[in-house]
Amino acid sequence: MKLKLLTFVFLLVLIQSTIAAEKATITLPTTPVTGNPLGVGSDQMVVPISILNGRELSLKRENTLAETLNSIPGVSNSSFGPSVGRPMIRGMDSDRIKILQNGVNNLDASNLSFDHGVSIDPLIIEQIDVIRGPATLLYGGGAVGGVVNTIDHRIPKEKFEGITGRGEVRYGGANLEQSNAAVVDVGSGNFVMHFDAYNRDAKNLRIPSNAVSSRKRTTNSWDPATSGYAPYATNHGSNKLINSQSESNGGAVGASMIFDRGYAGVSYAKHQTQYGSPNEAAIKIDMDSDRFDFASEVRDIGTFFERAKFRAAYTDYMHKEIENGAVGTTFKNKGVEGTFELGHQPILNIKGVLGLQFENGKFQALGAEAFVPSSKTNAQSVYLYEELPIDQHKITFGLRHGQHDVDSKGGGTFTATNKSFKTDNGAVGGLYTLNSQWSLTGNLSHNERAPSYFELYADGVHVATGAYEQGQSNLKIEKSNGLDGQIRWKHGQDSLTLGAYYTKFSNYIGLLSTNTLVAVEGDAHKISRFTGIKAEFKGFELEGKTSLTDNLQLNVRADYTDARDKTNGGYVPRISPFKIGGGLKYELNRFGARFDVLHAFKQEHVATNFNYGTHKELTTDSYTSVSMMATYKLPTQYNLEAFSRVNNLLDEEIREHSSFLKDIAPTGSRSIMFGMRGDF
C-alpha cells in the first residue's frame, strides 16, 4: 500500500493545525530508561548508554538505523549497501545485538542475513537509546553486545488536551533522497490518539569512483566476468552504485486511555520497503511488516508491589527476494514477544523489579534458495534487577534464568530436530561519586546466549554471501564474562566520558571457513560451519563536549575495538578500526552551524578463519570524513527550521570495514541535502 498521499494529508493537517494552535507548546516526554527499569536518568546509569532524541535526532536521521547512529562511539554499520544497515556494537552483531521498539523485540530477519534490512524507519523515531555492552539481564542472553531501543510514542503515556505534532521534508544526498514524514497526537484529556505516516524514495547511490576497490581488483578472487560474490552479478558501477535504489513507506495509528495511576494503549504499524541489492544486479527485495503493540502500566498499587507494567507485540513479517521479476525465496517471521514487570517497595533501602519475558516465534524460509529450515522458537525468562543507593553512590545487581526451545520443522533436505537450552545471566555494578563533577562506574557480568535457529540448522548455499553455511545442532550455549568501566566528568553542560571494556568468551559461535567441499548443482562450494571458539573483545570509548564561548561548543569522540580468535589465532571479521573525531557547533539567535571531522585509521587486523563470502577479508584503507550542517529558524510565529547538510566534503573513497560489501560498495560521494522541519 502506497502511503505518499496519506503522508501529504498529514503534512497538510500539521500545517493547518500549527496555524490554529495556541502558542503554548505541548512537549512529549522522553524515555531514557532503557537498561534501567527504575527510570533513572542517563547520568545515574551504571552501564554505558547514549541517548539520541529531539532536534539532535531530527538533524541526524539517515536512510538506515545504523547510519543514524554513526556518531555514537562504539557503534558501526554492518551495511549491505545504502539501503540495509544493522547496528554493530563493539564489534558484535546479529543475535548479540537486540533491536527493540519501545522495549519489545523488533521481529524481522535482519539477524539472519546481512542483506536483510531492519524493519524500522528512522523518520518516525522520537528517541533512540543505545546500551554499549552486555544488557542480558533485562533483554535476554542474546544481548551480549548491546541494545538499540527505538521509541516512537505510538502508544501515548501522558494525558493532554489539544493537538501536537511534527513534520519534515527533505531532498538531496548522494542518493537523491526524497522523503517526508508527519506525526500528529490528538488528546481530549484522558483519551489520546497518535497518527504518523512517512515515505522515502532514494535513487542509485553516487560514489566517488569505481564501486570495486583497487585492492579487490588485484586479488586472485576477483573475476571481472562475474564481478562480485554472486555468480550472476555482472557490474557494480562506476561513479554510481548499481541496484542500490530503495523506496519505503509506512504509518501507524495508536490510542491510549490515561488513568490517574497509569495508562493502557494499543497501536498498529505498517512498514513496507523495496530495495535493490548492490551485490546482485538482478535482485530486488520486497519487505512488508505489520505490527500490533499493547502496553499498560499501573502505579501506586498500594501493596508490596507498587508498580506493574506489561508490554507485548505481535509481528507479521514477510520478505521476498525477486529475481528478474519472479519471486525466488520468501522469508516469513511471525511471533509474539512481551514482558511483564513488577516493581516492589524498598526493602532495606533496596529497590528493584521482578520480571517475566516471553517469546513465541515461527520462522519460514520458502523457495529453492532457502538455506535454513522452517523453525519455531519459544523462550521464557525470569529476571530480578535491584539497586541499593548508599549516600551519593549506588550498587546494582541482578539475575536472569531462561528456557529456550528451538525446533526445526524439517522438510526437503532438512531434518526435524528439537533443541532446548537453559541460560543463566548475572551482573553486579556500581556507581561511585567522587565529587559533584567526577564519578566512576563499573559492571561485572556473566552472559549466556542460546544458539539461534540458523546457527543450529542452516545447511545450504547462502546466495547473498556466496558461502555454503552449515549449522551444528550440537552447539553449546555461548558463554562470556565481561568487565566494563567508565570515568565521567560533568560540569553544567560540559561533559567527558572515558570507558574501557573486556569480554572473554569461553564459547563464541562464529561462522568459520573449512576446506571441506560440497557440490551444489554442479558447482563446488567450501563449507563454512557455525563453530564454537574462544574469543576476546576489548577496547575503549571516549566522548565529550565543552563550551568554548557562549555560542561555540567543541565535541570530541574516539573508539577502538580489538577482537581476537583465541582458538585458531587471528582476528574476528569486520571490526572497525580506531576512529577519532571532533567537531564545532555554533549557534547564534536563529542561525546554527556544525563542522565535524572523523578519521578512521587503516584496518589491518583481518580475519583468516572466519567466513567472509567466497573470499578472504581484505585490509581497509584509512579515510577522513568531513561534514557540515547549517540551520536557520524561520522568523515566523510557527516553529519552522530549514537545514542543509553536506556529507563527505573531501569526496573521499570511504569503505567502512564493518560493511560486508565494503570492497564493492563504498559510501556516497560528496553531496548536499536540503530540508525543512517543524513542530507544534
Q: For residue 572, what pLDDT is reported?
A: 94
Extract the C-alpha cell encoding 652: 573521499
Domains of the chain: 4-679 (2.40.170.20)
CA neighbor of 656 nearest in space, from 129, 278, 213: 213
Mean pLDDT of 532-548: 97
Q: For residue 9, what pLDDT is reported?
A: 39
Cα 145 to the chain's mean position, in Å?
A: 12
Mean pLDDT of 120-145: 88
User: How many percent of the chain have pLDDT more than 70?
Assistant: 91
66, 81 contact by CB (below 8 A): no
Residue pLDDT, tens place only, 223-267? 555 444 443 334 688 899 999 999 999 999 999 999 999 999 999
Burial of 393 (0-12, 13-18, 19+ CB in 10 A): middle
Q: For residue 638, what pLDDT is reported?
A: 79
Q: For residue 224, what pLDDT is reported?
A: 56
Amino acid found at 270: K
Q: For residue 410, what pLDDT is reported?
A: 80
Does pLDDT of 391 surpass 50?
A: yes
Q: What is the DSSP letter of 105?
A: E
Does pLDDT of 10 surpass 50?
A: no
CA distance linking residue 471 with residue 406, whole number of Å: 13
642, 658 contact by CB (below 8 A): no
Residue 434's alpha-carbon distances to 392, 397, 431, 440, in angstroms, are: 9, 21, 10, 7
CA distance linking residue 398 with residue 631, whole number of Å: 45
Does pLDDT of 40 surpass 70?
A: no
Give the residue with greater pLDDT, 99 vs 9.
99
Strand order in the sheet with 104-105: 49-53, 127-132, 146-151, 97-101, 104-105
Mean pLDDT of 490-498: 94
Does pLDDT of 526 surpass 90?
A: no
Does pLDDT of 680 surpass 70?
A: yes
pTM of the model: 0.91
Q: Which residue has the cell 537498561?
A: 35
Cβ neighbours around 523 below 10 Å, total? 10
